Structure 1
Amino acid sequence: MLNRRTVIKGAGATLGMAMSARSYARIKGANDRLRVAVIGVNGRGQAHMSAFTKLPNVAVTHLVDVDSKVLAKRAGEFAAKGNPAPETVHDYRRMLESKAIDVVTVATPDHWHAKLAIDAMDAGKHVYLEKPIGMVPAEGEALIAVQARTGRHLQVGNQQRSSQETRQLADLIRAGELGEIYEAQTWYANNRVSIGRGHEMAPPAHLDWDLWQGPRPRGPYRSNLVPYNWHWFWKYGTGETCNNAMHELDVARWLMGLTYPKTVSARGSRRFYRGDDWEMYDTLALDLVYADGRTIRWDGNSCNGMERYGRGRGVLFLGTKGSAIVDRNGFELFDLAGKPLRKVVAAASSETTGTVGEGALDVYHAGNLVDVIRGRTNALASPIREGHISTTLCHLGNIAYRTGSVLTLDATTGRPSSPEGMKLWSVDYEPGWEVKA
C-alpha cells in the first residue's frame, strides 16, 4: 500500500521508489505492468498523467482528446519528461477496442463523465472517474448498475479520501475525541474572472465540436465555452457545487457518518460580472439538514477569494468536546474555548484551488485503485456508491437553487419528493448517445 512516507514533499511530489517509465521495460515483471489511457488532457487530466506515471510498474500509454492541438502538446510534454511517447487517440471508442489497456481515467467536461465510464467498464477496463460522476443523479444510478454488472473497479476522484491525515482525523472522531459532531461548515473561495460575452461561430479546426458535445443535444459552438467556461453553462456544466463542493461535502458526511439529509436548501445568485454569459450562481449557501438535527453547510464564493482560517477551502467540524479544521494538507484540533490543541501537516502537499489540482493525494488515490486491481487490498477509497451519494448532494443543491424551493428527500434514494425537483433528476441526450445501464 502506498503511504505518505513514499512521497517526497513538494509540488512535484514523486514516489521515492519510482523510476522513469522508460525503465519499466527492463525490470522483472514488466509484462504485468498496468497500462493506462487518460481521456481529456487539457486540465485535470494532466494530474492523472502525472499521478499514474509515478506508480511502480504502471505506464500511461494512451492519451485521448477531441482537440488535436492539445493532444499533440500534452504528448510532447509527456515524452520530454523521459516517458515513452504515448499513443494519441482522437476518438475514445477506438481506444476502448484495444486489449492493451487496463485502466481508463476520465478527466473530460462533466457531460462526458458517466458515458465514458460506462463504455470503458463495458469494454472490460477499470476506471478512475473524476468528480462529478455525472451531469445528473440518474447517471450515478446507471454507473452503480454497470459497475455491479461488469465487476470492474471504479474509483471516484475525490482524492481526499486517500489522505492519511484526513483518515487519522476520522479515527479520532470515531474515538470520541470531539464528542458528538453536530455541525460541519465547509467552504470554497476563489477569484474567478469574467467569461465575457461570447458569440456563435465556427469551431476551430483543431477541435472536433461534434465529438466534444457527445451525449448532449447538438448546438452551435460558442467563442467563450471551451476549454473551461463550459462549467458555468447548464447544458454542459454542473456549477461550482459539483465542481468543488463535492470534495468538502464528501469529507463532512464521511467523517460524520451521514448519507442523505432530510432537507436541502440553497440561496444563490450571480454577484459579479453580471453582464457576461455565466448562467449560474457565483455565490451560493447550501444547507443540508439531517433527520437527527445535524447539519452540513457549504459556502461557495467563486469570485471572492477571502480565505477562512487561512484556507481557500476546508471543513470545520463542531463537536460537543471540541472542534477540528481539515483540508487536503492536514488538520488542526481545538478545545471548546477555541484553543489550539494539535496540528498535523501532510508530508506532501496538494494544490487546493487551482484548475489542475495536482498533488500527492492524486498519487495516493491512483495507487489505491492500482492496489485493488492487483489484489493487494479489497477496499477502494472512494467506491461508486459513496461517490454517488456525495455527488447527489451537490446535484440536489443545484436542484434546490434552480427550483427556488426547499427539497424534502427520500432518505434511502436521495430523491426529492417534488415533481419539479424530479424533472432535474435526469437529462435528455443526443439520439444514439444515451447514458444507460
Structure 2
Amino acid sequence: MPSSNSASRRQFLQGSLAAATAPYWWTSSSLAAEATAPSDLPAFAAIGLGGQGSGIANQAAGLGKMVAAADVDSARAARFAGVMEKNHNQKINTVEDYRRLLERKDIDAVTIGVPDHWHTKIAIEAMQAGKDVYCEKPLTLTIDEGKLICKVARDTKRVFQVGTQQRSDRQFSEAIALVRAGRLGDLERVTVGIDQAPYSEALPVAEAPSTLNWDMWLGQAPAVEYRFGKDLKRWYGKKSGGDGGADASNGHYEFRWWYAYSGGKLTDWGAHHMDICQWLIGQNGDGQGPTLVTPTLAEHQVEFDEQGNPKQTDRYSVATRFAFKMDFPNGVEVNLTSEARNGLLVEGTKGRLFVSRGGVTGKPVEELKDNPLPEGAVDEVHGKGRPWNHMQDFVDCIRTRETPISDVFSHHRAITSCHLAGIVGRLNRPVAWDAASEQITGDPIAQAMQQRKQRKGYEIVV
C-alpha cells in the first residue's frame, strides 16, 4: 500500500489499542472527570471485528463496557474475545448474526466496523432497535442509502458518530479557523489529494475459509464465488511496475477494491478529506454540495457496460488513478485526485496552506507567531469543551444526547460528493447534481446509479 495509507492506518490502530489499555481516568473529558461509576458506563456491542472494527471496539471498551460482539468470521470473533479479556478483563459472548445483539436490552450502543456494503443496513436496524451508533466511514455504499440513514436518524433521534476521526484532529480545525479568520483571503480552490488504488492480476475462484459465512458476508451484494490468490502481483499505475506479491481476495480488507462492496479510494480516503473540505468551504449543510462533477482522469483495469457495471468480475474494479473537478455554488473549485499529495491544499487570494494528518503548513501558519488567531478560534470550530478524542466525544454524547462532532447528516453530504465522483468515473462523463433535491439531473443512467439492487433477504427496510 502507499506509505501514507499504511502509516495512517497503523497509527490509528496503535492509538486505538493505547486508548483501550490506558486507565479510564487518563481520558480528557467531562465523563472521565466525573469519575463515573462502572454501573453508569455505556454497554457496547461490537459488530465487525477486522482491523478497523477491532480498533474502534477497543476504544469503546476502554470507555465503557463491552458485553458482546458479532462477526461472520468466527476466527475473528474468537480473537477479539481473547483481546477483550486480556486487555480489559471483560468477558463477552460472540455471535455470527448481529441481529441477535440488537435484540438485547442490556446494550446501549454499537460500534460498526463491517465492510462498506453492510454499514447502512446494520446502522439503520441498530437505530430502529434503540441503540446509539458509532459507524466506520464511508457510511454508505450509494447516495440513496445516505438518504435512508438520515431519515432514520431523524426519526429515532439516536446519537450517531461517524468514524471520520480527522474531525477530532486539531490541525484540521486549525486550518478551518485560519480560513474563517480570512488569513487566506477569498477561497478559490481546494485540491483534495488521496492515494491511488492497486491493480491486480485475475483472482482464481477458491474455497472460502471454513470460519467464514461467505453468503452472509456478501449481504446485499450479488451472490458470487469467493476468490483468493496467494502472492499475486499487485501494482500502482500502469507504468510503475509490480510491487511484489500479496495475498488478494474479494473479501475481508480487500473488499475495498471492488465496486460491489465499496467505492475504492474515492470513498476510503475521500470520506475523510472531502468531509474536511466541505466543512472548510462551508458546503456541508442541508441542500449544499457540488453542482457539476467532471472527470479529467479515470483509469480502471476493467471495462464497464453502458449502465456502469464492470464487465470483468475476476479482478479489482475500482478506479486506480483519477482526477475530478467539482464546481460548488459558492465559486470554490474542488479537485479530487489521486495525483496530488495526500491531504488538502487550500488556496485563496492572499495565500495558501496544506493540511494533512501530519499537520498544517504554509505562510498563514508561519505568520501566527506574530499574528495569532483570536483566543478560542480553534475551539469555536471544533466545539467549546468538546474532547479531542473521537470515541470519547461519542461516549459523552450518549450521556448528554448532543450531536457528535461527526454527524450523519454532514457526512452524507460529503460522501455523496465521493459517490458522484465514482459514478462519473465509471461513465467517464460529467454529471450535474441538484443538492436541494439530492438528484442527478439530465442523465437517467447516472441517476439510476444512485442506488443498487439488493439481494433478496438482505434488503434495507425503512
| TM-score higher than 0.5 | yes
The residue number in structure 1 matching 2:329 is 291
Q: Is 1:253 matched up with 2:278?
A: yes
Spell out, residue by residue over 1:150-198, the C-alpha distance to the aligned partner (whole angstroms, 9 max, x if none): 11111111111122332233222212122111111111236x6654322
Q: Note the C-alpha offset of 1:13.
A: 4.5
SS at match of 2:439: coil
- CA distance change for structure 1 residues 372 and 206 in 2, over 3 Å: closer, same or farther? same
Question: Separation in 1 of the partners of 2:320 and 2:36?
Answer: 52
Structure 2 portions without partners, runs of 5+: 1-13, 27-31, 229-248, 303-311, 373-385
Match of 1:136 among 142, 166, 169: 142
Report 1:358-377 matches (<5 A): 364-375=389-400
* Length, aligned pairs only: 391
Report 1:285-434 matches (<5 A): 285-300=323-338, 308=341, 313-335=342-364, 340-342=366-368, 364-375=389-400, 378-417=402-441, 418-434=443-459
Report 1:23-422 matches (<5 A): 29-55=37-63, 58-189=64-195, 195-223=200-228, 224-258=249-283, 259-266=288-295, 267-270=297-300, 277-300=315-338, 308=341, 313-335=342-364, 340-342=366-368, 364-375=389-400, 378-417=402-441, 418-422=443-447
- Following TM superposition, the consecutive aligned residue runs of length 4 or more in structure 1 with deviations greater than 3 angstroms are 10-17, 192-196, 339-344
TM-score (norm 1): 0.82
SS at match of 1:228: helix
- CA distance change for structure 1 residues 175 and 84 in 2, over 3 Å: closer, same or farther? same
Which structure: greater helix fraction?
Answer: 2
Contact 2:387 / 2:393 at 8 angstroms: preserved in 1? no
Question: Separation in 2 of the partners of 1:296 and 1:290?
Answer: 8
Tell me the amino acid that sits aligned with residue 115 of structure 2. Answer: P
Tell me the amino acid that sits aligned with residue 116 of structure 1. Answer: I
Contact 1:65 / 1:90 at 8 angstroms: preserved in 2? yes
Q: Indicate the structure whose relative CO is greater, using CA pairs within 8 Å and at least 6 residues apart.
A: 1
TM-score (norm 2): 0.78
Question: Separation in 1 of the partners of 2:153 and 2:435?
Answer: 23
Structure 1 portions without partners, runs of 5+: 1-9, 302-306, 345-360
- CA distance change for structure 1 residues 367 and 82 in 2, over 3 Å: closer, same or farther? closer
Question: Separation in 2 of the partners of 1:227 and 1:283?
Answer: 23
Question: Separation in 2 of the partners of 1:17 and 1:66?
Answer: 31
SS at match of 1:427: coil
Question: Separation in 2 of the partners of 1:54 and 1:82?
Answer: 7
Tell me the amino acid that sits aligned with residue 299 of structure 1. Answer: T
Tell me the amino acid that sits aligned with residue 298 of structure 2. Answer: G
Question: Separation in 1 of the partners of 2:348 and 2:43?
Answer: 45
- CA distance change for structure 1 residues 196 and 73 in 2, over 3 Å: closer, same or farther? farther
Question: Separation in 1 of the partners of 2:358 and 2:389?
Answer: 13
Spell out, residue by residue over 1:113-133, the C-alpha distance to the aligned partner (whole angstroms, 9 max, x if none): 000000100111001111111
